[in-house]
Structures are given as C-alpha cells and as structure tokens.
Amino acid sequence: MVQFSVVAAIAALQPPFATAPAAAARVAAPPLLTPTTTTRARRLVLAADGFSSAEDEAAETNGRLALLALAVAGAAETGVIAADKLGGGGAVGSLCLAGSACADVLSSPWASVNGVPLAALGALAYAAVALLAGLPLAARAAAPAAGSGGGGGGGGAALVAACGGMAGFSAALMLELALRIQQPCTLCIGSAVLSGALAAVALRTPRLTDGSTDSAVYGGGGALVGLVAAGCLYFLQSSQLDARAPPPIFAHSSPRALEVSRAITAKGGRMFGAYWCSHCIDQKETLGREAMEAPVGVAPAGSGIPYVECDADGANSEFYACKAEGIRGYPTWQVGGKLFTGEKTLDELAEIAAGRGKPDAPRPPPSE
C-alpha cells in the first residue's frame, strides 16, 4: 500500500518534469528581432546612457534647429558680401565696425579664387549645412510617426563633417588674416565665429552619429579636410600673385594739397600702405598725382610724399621696414617720428604736419 502510494505520487509528478525540457527550449530560443523588440532594445541602451528616447530626440531636434539658425545667419552674411563683390557695389564697408578694414580685406587678392569670391563659396557651404540640418526636421514634421531613427540617420554624419570642415577652413583664414594680411575684418571674424559655433553644436548634438566618438572622428576629419583645402588655396594664390604695383593716381593735386604735401615732406613724412588697400587709393586721390609722386622710401623735401609698400607681394615691397616701424593698418602716416593710422582729410594732414595731430598710442617693439 505504501509502495503504491509512492509510485502514484511519482506518476503525479511526471507531467511537470516531462514538460521541463520543452519549457527550457522555449526559454533558450532566441527572440525574433521585430521592430518592436529593436526599438525596446534601443530605448534600454539610451536609458543606460542616461537618456530616454524622448529626451534624446528632443535634444537632437534642438541641436538641428540651432545648426539651422547659425547656417542661415552665415548664408545671409556671406551672401550679402558675395552679391556686393560680384555687383561691384563696394557697400560692404558700411557694414563693418569702426576701425575695421573689411572693404580692404574683401577687395584683396586673397578674397577670391579665379574671380570667384570666397564669400560666394562660403554662402554655398552654409546653405548646404542648412539643408542637412533642416530637411530631416521637415521630413519628421511631415511624418511624425516615422521618427528620425537616430544613429547617424538623416545625413547626420555628413552634417558633422561639413561643420568641422567649415570650422577648419575658417581657422586657416583667420591665421592668414592675422599673419599675412594683418588687417582687422569684423565680417570675416564674424563668419569664422559662426563656423566654429556650427562645429561645437554639431559635436554636442546627440543621434547625428552612432556616438560621441564617431562625431569626433567625422568632425575632426572634416576639419582636417578644411585646413588642407585652405592651405592649397593659399599656395595657389601665392603662386599666381606676381609683384603688384598700386594703381595710378588720376586726380591732379590742388594748391591746398601741394601745400600740405610740402609741409609733410619737410617733416620727413611718408605714407605706408598696400597695393590692394582701397583706403590707400582714396587717400592718394585726395592728395593728387603731383603731391604723391615720389620714389619709394624717404624722398627729398618738396618732391612729393613718399609711399612705402608694405605687402610682401607688392612691387618694391618694404615689408620688413613696415614691420620694424610697427605698421598695423593701412594707410598709416609717419610724420615727425610719430604714427597716424587711417585715411585723413587735407585739414587733418595739415594739423599733423603742424604738430597738432593726435598720434597713435605707443606700441611695443615688434617681436622677432
């Protein structure tokens, strides 16, 4: 009786044991990778990184909106400059801050490539970034259920690379502005700031690429390409630039201009400039041909105000003499051993020659 009861108990327990292998098989079987499970897995990964899917998507949207706004601002700025240059209007100088030399810098040979303004190329680059940033937002608004997909979807990798390339190119142009052209240009600096801001925002915007490491790779690669492109353009321009002389002076000197010229040359005065400097050209036209025609360097009193070419590519360049004198802007007048920067009227030059003009602040000696 006891044996029967034990056997019956064991038999009663058999179904669960018999179904255990099947249950284990069901547990061990890999789940099907349906869109629902994939989305759930991605959300788990995002949650592990400290973001929910909704928060991450909102951060990406805000980043793209910021990139779009910066790119539109950059396209507007460079577009105005390019239109002005192509139209020959010369009105861009009115947009500069006081003391800036935007007109001179943007009319220099470094501001165009084979007749195409760099500003026009910049406007196209900004427009491309605006499209890369804005089109996915427009598509998402048209089909909200589709989402962005994340992980480099919507041209995110290209967007990061483009922003990095623009930042690298702009950095090279700022080096050229500081070391080669040596003239302040607020519009140029403003565009460089916008390019740097684009790169910074793109690197911090989530879901443009598969992660921060990928963003750094795309952004850094784009910056390297931008630097190399700017370097190639610089050497191309340098190889094509022959020594250039300032344009001829067309205006004839008035009696007042000749009087001022004699007063300045009597004090050993001279004018420093660059062949491409529009303010230098205007200054010479104010004085006239007879008051300005003189050999390069210090001329005898009464033979006209001497002009010193400071650009290294200019004809009869005295680049190192300009550097030794601490010349930082064009035109610069040197009268009685003192420097006076900027284009002057005849009355202002007469005051300078009489010792009543306000000279520039003392400058430290140039570094070797």
Least confident of 44-53, 84-93, 321-330: 44-53
Across the chain, what does the average pLDDT equal? 79
Domain 255-353 has CATH 3.40.30.10: yes
For 14, the 3-state DSSP assignment is: helix
pLDDT, tens only, 243-284? 577 888 889 999 999 999 999 999 999 999 998 888 898 899
199 to 21, 162, 204, 220: CA distances (angstroms): 57, 8, 9, 10
What one-letter code names the amino acid at 190? G
Contact of 295 with 309, CB cutoff 8 Å: no
Query: How far is it, in rounded angstroms, from Cα 306 to Cα 289?
Result: 12
Helix and strand counts by DSSP (H, E) for the chain: 13, 6
Q: Average pLDDT in the 185-198 region? A: 92
Grouping H, G, I as helix, E, B as strand and the rest as coil, residue 308 is strand
Out of 98-107, 137-146, 219-228, 230-239, which region has the weakest mean confidence (pLDDT)? 98-107
pLDDT interval class at 305 (50, 70, 90): very high
Q: Output Rg (C-alpha) for the chain, integer angstroms.
A: 34
Residue 82 has pLDDT above 80, yes or no: yes
363: confidence class by pLDDT, cuts 50, 70, 90? low
pLDDT of the residue at 240: 65
pLDDT value at residue 17 = 42
For residues 243-260, one letter each, b for 16 or more C-beta atoms within 10 angstroms of the residue's C-beta and e for the rest, the string is ebebeebeeebeeebbeb
Whole-model pTM over 0.75: no
CA–CA gap between residue 199 and residue 197 (Å, rounded): 5
Domain residues of the chain, as ranges?
A: 59-240, 255-353
Task: State the average pLDDT over residues 74-101.
Answer: 74
In percent, the amount of the chain with pLDDT more than 90 equals 40
59-240: which CATH architecture? Up-down Bundle (1.20)
Model pLDDT for residues 133-152, shown as the tens digit of each residue: 999 999 888 876 555 455 55
Q: What pLDDT is attached to residue 3?
A: 44
Q: Is residue 145 classed as helix, strand or coil in its secondary structure?
A: helix
Q: Say yes or no to pLDDT of 6 above 80.
A: no
Query: Would you call 340 helix, strand, or coil by DSSP?
Result: strand
pLDDT bucket at 106, cuts 50 / 70 / 90 = confident
Q: In the chain, what percentage of residues exceed pLDDT 70?
A: 73
